[in-house]
Amino acid sequence: MESAMRVAGFCWLAIFVLWAILGFAVKQTVGSRSDVRARIAVWGVMLAWLILFSDGMRRGVLGERFLPMDPAIAYVGLAITIIGLGFAVWARLVIGRNWGGLITVQQDHKLMRTGPYGIVRHPIYSGFMLATLGTALIVGQVGGLISVALIVISWGYKSRLEETLMVEQFGAEYEDYRRHVKALIPGVW
């Protein structure tokens, strides 16, 4: 179980470093909804990951086990983590320089509808949600479940804020996209 968590931790760290590097290669922002509401969503994500990755945050009820300590469960969680992170990276590479850390429209922004964006409208969020679930399975504690709930709530909220900007930017094209592709979970939500 410790080895699964070490590998998952390394994968998450590599993704955070990649995100930081890719963040330097974005287009100029021309529209934004990055107000306090968007920042609240980001803070929710940060709190979720703090609980997930910090043993010190998982004390008391948050440290209670909801799964037995079982290597098979840990390695299933690791596989889910890697799949989720891979999906998020794929989406980040496809959106390329159109990506923005908060809720933004970049100069000459293109609406992506291919690759992971043909599966869900917010595949980076979906990938990180899946990876958080996988890591929560490795951890096996209530704090991991709280992290998953915070991630789902935060990115569900942020995706709704983002949708209003996308409709303003792309109009009927985005409305058509919304009719055909779910936001976060294929065929469901």
Please give the Cα distance from 69 to 111 (Å, whole number): 44
**CATH number of the domain bearing residue 21:** 1.20.120.1630
- What pTM does this model have? 0.93
Tens of pLDDT along 98-137?
887 777 777 788 899 999 999 999 999 999 999 999 999 9
The full 3-state SS of 18-37, as one line of letters, equals HHHHHHHHCCCEEEECCCHH
Q: pLDDT, tens digit, for every residue of 52-109?
A: 999 887 889 999 999 999 999 999 999 999 999 999 999 999 998 888 777 777 778 8
What pLDDT score was predicted for residue 25? 79
Mean pLDDT of 6-13: 97
**Has residue 185 been placed in a domain?**
no
- Report the alpha-carbon distance of residue 52 to residue 86 in Å, rounded: 19
| Number of folded domains that form the chain | 1
What mean pLDDT, rounded, does the chain reach? 92
Q: Is residue 47 part of a domain?
A: yes
pLDDT at 34: 66
